[in-house]
Every structure is written in C-alpha cells, then in structure tokens.
Chain A
Amino acid sequence: MRHIVKPLFRHRMMPLLVVLQVALACAIACNALFLLQQKLVPIVAPDGVGHPDRLIVAWNIASRGAPWPTSRLAQVVAELRAIPGVTSASMAGSWPMETIAQMNGDVVSDGSRVSGDAAVYIGSHLVDTLGLKLVAGRDFSATEEAVAYKNIGINENGSTIITRALADRLFPDGDALGRVVRIGKDADSARRTVVGVVAHLMRNKFGQDDREDIDYSMLFPGIPSNWPMPVFAVRARSAAEVSGALKTMKATLKRELGADMIQGIDPAYEMYGNLRERALAQSKAAVWLLSGVSLIVLLVTVVGVMGLTSYWVQQRTRQIGIRRALGARRASILHDVLLENLLVVGTGMVLGMVMAYAINLWLMRHYELPRLPWIYLPYGATLMLLLGQLAVLGPALRAAAVPPVVATRSV
C-alpha cells in the first residue's frame, strides 16, 4: 500500500487534477440526476384517466363579466351529453393536465389530524367522463350530483371520492370509506365524507416541490357556481365517434355560451391525450436535457481520467520495468495501477459527495427543491468507482505489458 500512496504525494499535480475532476463530476451529476428524477415523476406516474383518445376537453373558456349561472352550465352539459356517440359529459372548475386553473387544498383526516396537500376537482359526472377506476365504494349518486353550491364549493360540506394514494396517506389504518376529510385546518373548515376511492388521478399542479403527492386528488360532485373559467369535457363511445362529437360540441358551446365569452381569446378544444402531451412536454424536454448533460459530464470525466492516467503510467514506464525486472508479476502491476486509481477516485468521490450535498443545501435554501436523498450516495459512489476503473483499465493493461528489459534501457 505504501508504495502506491507515497508517489501520489510526491507528484501531486496529476492525482490532484483527477481528484478535482471526479469531485466536480460527482457534484454535478448527483444534482443533475436528482433534478432529472424530479422531472420524471409526472411523466411516469399514472394519471388514472382511461382511454385518453376518446376524451375531448374544451378549455380557455371564460365568461365576460359575471360568471355563468350554474343552471345555464347544467343545461349546456345536458346538451353535450345528448350528442350522439357521447357516453358522458362534464363541466368542471379545473381539469387534470390543464394548469391555468388549479384548486389545491391542505386536507386533514378528521380525528387523526394527518394532513396532505391535494388537488380538488369539482365537477359533474367526473368519474365516468375521466374514465376513472373505482377500487372501493361507489360513484356519486344523482342527489349528490344535483347539489347546488353557494360558491365554488370548496368550502362546503358534502361527499367526496379520493385517490387510493390520498386515502392511504390520510387513513393509514385502513378503510377510508365513510370517513371524513376536512378541507383546511380551521375548526369550521368544510367536511367531506369519502364515498369512493379511485385507483389514480393525477393533480394538475406541477412544481419543483415534493412529488410524493402527485397522486393526491379529490373529486367533489356537482357544478361549481360563481366560477368564471369552466372546463367542458365529453367522452366518446369509440375513437371513431370522436370527430363527430367534437364538431357538435364546438357548435353547442359556441351557440350556448359564445356571446358571453371574453373577446380576443378563443376556446381551445383538445383530445386529453394531446393535452397531456403538451402539459408534460416541458418536463420531457428537461429530462432529455438533464440526461444529456449527465451523460456528457460522465463521458468527459472518463476521458479526462483516462488521459491523465495514461500519461502517469507512461511517465513511470522505467520504474515499472525495474519492478518487473526485480520480480513483480504482471498481475501485481495491474493490481497496483487499479488500486491507485481506486484511491484517487475514491478521494475525489468523497469530496464530490460533500460538494453535492453542499450544493443541494444551497439550492434548497434558494429554490423549491427537496433534500437530496441518501440513496444517491451508494449508487453514485459505485458508479463513479466503476467508471474510474473502466477509464484506467487501458493504461493499466499497458503498464502491465511493460517488459522487464525496459529497466536496462536508457539509463
């Protein structure tokens, strides 16, 4: 061991540069990969919506002046539902993958005081139109759907359907059905009784915040009143019936609400699948960017370490020759070069991990980023050490191939 460590201190520049390089690469790659993982969450998480190619969403619809009365909206929804080839139609205050209007609330389970930040979708017949999968309980009853809210509805009592993830969070002891969720922490906050649980439903808030709650959503039945930006959606029976339904839907909305819409902004009609693609496009672009950067960072490091080590080995050709002449075997030369690399890269890696954490702490203070999980350390370390060994393999084999006769030359 001593014959490996000592020369490192005698010729400090080369190992120091390797240490610095590995440390920087480690710090950058850890943080880049962590950001990447954040961006990946909404892309890989299930959104719970069935048959996205049959769901037409109309948004960017806003009333000029006072919001439309709920009776009017209910009538429009009834007309949409009557369109041939349409199985279900909805009007809602906000919609998955549509981020202009969002409703989020800090919800608390009654009794246990466990809370979570959840998205709230208030609208009519949402389970059918979104194509959600009920895993427990039932859909809203006709009476529940016919509720008349004084306001948007978020602060009013009633029933709710929540996602399984939210149910597990709020009621860790098991069955959520029949339990009460409070919307807000105040004593007089609204109470909602859970009547059903759906498998998944993604929230429409994408930020760089904690992504554990991406699947925390709640449904409230009925039509929100006093809400100026309604979203309409219809589900077609089959993909073939979509274009016909879309045409009728456009005509219906234009006829019924067109005169009162704000001027200068046209309603947008989109298939849910496209809406989803667009909402996630930015995250996807970021994923490509970050994975590209991480890859190049690692590549540059490997090449750099390779270049430095091959010089370092070449520089000591004569010493290696002497050792070989004195009886050292090829394997032990190879072993020594690899071990040396392990030491240098290991030092750089430890330094890099500390740097990665320091950077992460700084980012946490200034941006909405969570803490770097510890799990990154062993993976990052293994990856870095393996790459280091890979980079040094070529030069090490060359060193091992030095014939003992070199020792007798050029002295």
Chain B
Amino acid sequence: MFDYYLRLALRRCRQNVPMVLLVVLTMAVGIAACMTAMTIFRALSGAPLPGVSPYLYVATMDGREAVDKDNPDYQRPDSLLMLADAKALVDAHRAAQQVAVAQSLASLGNADGKRSEQAYGLMAYGPALQVFGVPLRYGRPWTEAEQSANAPVVVIDTHVAQKLFGIDNAVGRSVTLGQRSFRVIGVFAPWSPRMQIFNLGQRAGNVMGQDENFFVPAQASLDAGVGPFTSGECGKGAPVVSFQSASVAQCRWIEAWVRLDTPAQVGDYGRFLAGYAHVQHDAGRFVYPPQARLYGTQAWMTLNRVVPDDVHLNLMLAGGFLLLCLVNVAGLLAARFLRRQGDVAIRRALGASRRDVFLQHLVETGLLGLIGGVLALPLTWLGLWIVRMQPVSYADAARFSPGVFAILFALSVAVGLLVGVLPAWRMCRQPPALQIKLA
C-alpha cells in the first residue's frame, strides 16, 4: 500500500511542477538555515572536554591582598589565585583530583639550540594530565616527588616532539625552556579543549580551544624564568597585567581545578573552599570578603560568555524562520490537496477509509519533505561555507559532520510529516457524499 501511495505521490508531483518546486524549495531553505545555525551551536555547546569537564569545577574567590581603589567591588567571580593559595588547595587533597594550572606561551628548544618552537602549554601544580584526561602516548606524567623537588621535567605533545627531534617518542631527550634544560618524561597526542576554558577573564574574544603543546610543573618553570602568559593581577591596587614574567610572587595568576564526582562531593568541597577563604580573610590576608564559590565548567563558561550571543540569536532566528517556512508550506499543501477533493471523494465512495486517505497524503508530504531535505544538503554546505568565510571567532566550528547529516535527514522527514498533518487531516474529514456532489 505504501508503495502504491508513493507512486501516486510521485505522479502528482509531476502534475504541478512549479507548485511542488515552491513547496520543496521553501522547506529546503528553512531546513538549511536551521541546520547551519544548529551545526555551529552544536559545535560550541556540550562539554569542552568530553567525559571529563562535566565533573570539573573551578574555584573562585576574591583573593586580593591589597585594597584596590579602582575596583572596590568584586564585580564578577574571579578564578585567579596566588600560587600559595593554589598550592594549599591542591595539597589539601579534599577533592577526587585537583590541579592548579596557568596558560604559558614559551619557546621550546632542543639541546643544541638549533631547533626551537613557540608553543602554548600549561604550567601546572598537581597531576594535570590525569585531571584533564590528556591522552599520554609515551612515558609518564610527573610524580609528586619530582614536583616537590622542583625537578626540571616536561611532558610535550607529538607536534613539538616532531618539530624538535623529528620523532614522536622523545622520552628521555632534553628540551630547553627558559634558562634551564628540562628532561622529557612523557609525550602526549595533540590535545586541546574544544572551547576556551582557562583564564576566561583574559581570553580576548577567543572562542575555540587552544592547542596545549606542553605541560610543565609550575615551580620548575618559574625557576627557569618562564612565567605564565599573563601574570594576572598583581597586588598594590594596580590593575596592570604583565606578560611572561616569572616574578609573580605578588600576583594572582593560577587557577585551581578540581574533579568532583557526586553532588555530595561538590557540596563538601564548596564548604571546604569557603572555609579556607574565610580563614585567609580572618587572618587579614584577603582584604575583602572572599565570596568563595565553585563553578562547574559549563556554568563558568556561560558566566564568562564564551559562546557569543550571536550564536544563540542566530539559532533562534533560524528556528523562527523554519517555523515560518513550515506554516507557509502547510498552507500551500492544504491548497494543493483541497483542489483534489473530487478524487478523494471518489476514493472514499469506493470504500477507502479515512485512515487510508490520511496516510496517502502523509506519504506525499513525507516525500516532499525528503526531497526538501536532499535539496537542503547542498544549501547547508553553502551556508557553512559562508560562515567559514566570515571573520568570526567561531568560524572553525562551521564544519559538516555525520551527526549533522543524521539530524538533517530526521529534520526533513519530520518537517514533511508535520506540515502534512493539518492538510491531510482536513482532507480525510470531508464527507464523501458532499464531495461527489460538488465534483
């Protein structure tokens, strides 16, 4: 029966080509607009570190040690801590896992100084690779003993290994970082969070995640004269940021990230954090009420507006547009179907049930929806290409993926059926006798 309805639908499509074209094109444009916006939205939503970041929390507090005349109020939660506070939080071991990290941009060189590479990496206090789920390929992460001894060890990715040594497995080689030579103890596969998550206060409009090429123990790096990329906020009321300085003793520049698996742990850790901050405030170190708080990765990104408003607005716009196209097509289809009341009347009089008539028309609109979906495919491609050409920070997110294809297919069939329900229902409601008389 389905087969017969399909052939009937195809025959009817051929009868009034301009009308069919209009219907199909309207659907295609609506679907393509929606798919383009949805692709970008999907790429920019979800966990920045799949499987890991849903359990990661960042600690925020007002850890200023001096009265700040320019900014007496703590206007927004601040994740930058002094190294001493970060160390205290990590060493307390109150969470499942904990680490303090800061972004670094430094030059890595090989032993003879002939090859060097500017690379972004993370300075860390604690087991950074384990906390963030960085895929280690060779060697091992640093141990607590190495960290407390300020041993000059570094973990690099295969990109840097290739650049400096021409091989992937660079374990055991020496890398020059600042004024010291560091021993490579591990090599990991190229790794980046999907979106920006570190030091969001100073991300300068970037949206997509930064490739992190190396991990180095924070204190060893400072000892070698390599500081964080931005030194954050340095005391004495000066809001000035300085870059790549290793004299950060007076600065708040490092973030503490903790892994907490259950809501109970989150509650406990939140209380621990608040308690720690209050002790510092009461002792006179923190001059302002600390307002310590934990933020989940997603909440932290939302608060710092990592994903631009435009992405949300465009998705809403596209959704509204698709809705308009649906109403439009529903109207056109209703007009198209109702013109054929005579045919239906005869079929009804010959014994077709309402259900048959309803299904027949639904098959037809489903087919039209599918054709619309096929046409929407190149249009979506075009839309994503146009977005990639734009000077927007999330242009890289506009890529076609199999998941998008599946959504597009489902959406087009759903659209076809949805717009068909009203006209098809209208058709099968007509009493046969009246229709024959009119015909």
Contacts and interface: CB of A to CB of B under 8 A. Distances in A.
A65 B247 CA distance: 8
B321 A307 contact: no
Contacts of B327: 17, 20-21, 24, 304
A228 B243 contact: yes
B22 interface: yes
Among A25, A31, A263, residue most surrounded by chain B Cβ atoms (within 10 Å): A263
A188 B51 CA distance: 51
Interface in B363-404: 390-392
A408 interface: no
Contact of A228 (B240, B312, B324, B390): B240
B334 A228 contact: no
A155 B69 contact: yes
A28 interface: yes
A296 B324 CA distance: 11
Interface string A264-289: 11000000000000100110011001
Contacts of B390: 281-282, 285
Interface string B309-333: 1101110010011011101101110
Nearest to A31: B317
Interface residues of A, number: 56
B66 interface: no
Given A282-B391, A285-B391, A307-B331, A296 B105 contact: no
Contacts of A75: none
Given A226-B240, A293-B321, A14 B334 contact: yes
A262 interface: yes
Which size bracket describes the interface of B in this complex?
Answer: 35 or more
A281 B391 contact: yes
B70 interface: yes
Given A100-B204, A308-B331, A264 B105 contact: yes
B430 interface: no
B105 to A, nearest CB: 5
Nearest to A284: B391
Contacts of B320: 24, 27-28
B395 to A, nearest CB: 10
Nearest to A266: B118
Interface in A349-371: 363, 367-368
Contacts of B106: 263-264
Given A24-B324, A65-B244, A264 B332 contact: no
A17 B105 contact: no
Interface in A125-160: 151-152, 155
A83 interface: no
B124 to A, nearest CB: 19
Given A278-B391, A308-B332, A300 B107 contact: no
B317 A263 contact: no
B244 A368 contact: no
B426 interface: yes
A155 B71 CA distance: 12
A32 interface: yes
Given A264-B105, A303-B328, A17 B334 contact: yes
A367 B310 CA distance: 10
B335 interface: yes
Given A99-B205, A300-B328, A301-B324, A65 B245 contact: yes
Contacts of B229: 262
A67 B231 CA distance: 12
Nearest to A289: B314
B241 interface: yes
Nearest to A62: B243
A17 B331 CA distance: 6
B298 interface: no
B243 A64 contact: yes
Nearest to B325: A300
Contacts of A226: 238, 240
B240 A227 contact: yes
Interface string A4-48: 000000000110011011001101100110010000000000000
Nearest to B426: A13
B210 interface: no
Interface in A298-312: 300-301, 303-304, 307-308, 310-312
A177 interface: no
Interface string A210-225: 0000000000000000
A307 B22 contact: yes
A315 interface: yes
Given A17-B330, A307-B332, A262 B105 contact: yes
A18 B324 CA distance: 11
Contacts of A291: none
Interface in B60-86: 69-70
Nearest to A65: B245
A333 to B, nearest CB: 20
Contacts of A64: 243-245
B355 interface: no
B29 interface: yes
B334 to A, nearest CB: 6
B242 interface: yes
Contacts of B392: 282, 285
A248 interface: no
A192 to B, nearest CB: 16
A315 B22 contact: no
Contact of A315 (B242, B243, B314, B338): B338
B147 interface: no
B26 interface: yes
Q: Closest 4 CB pairs between A and B?
A: A311-B335, A304-B328, A264-B118, A65-B245
Given A67-B240, A307-B331, 11 more contacts: A17-B331, A21-B328, A65-B243, A65-B246, A65-B247, A228-B242, A293-B317, A293-B321, A307-B19, A311-B335, A368-B309
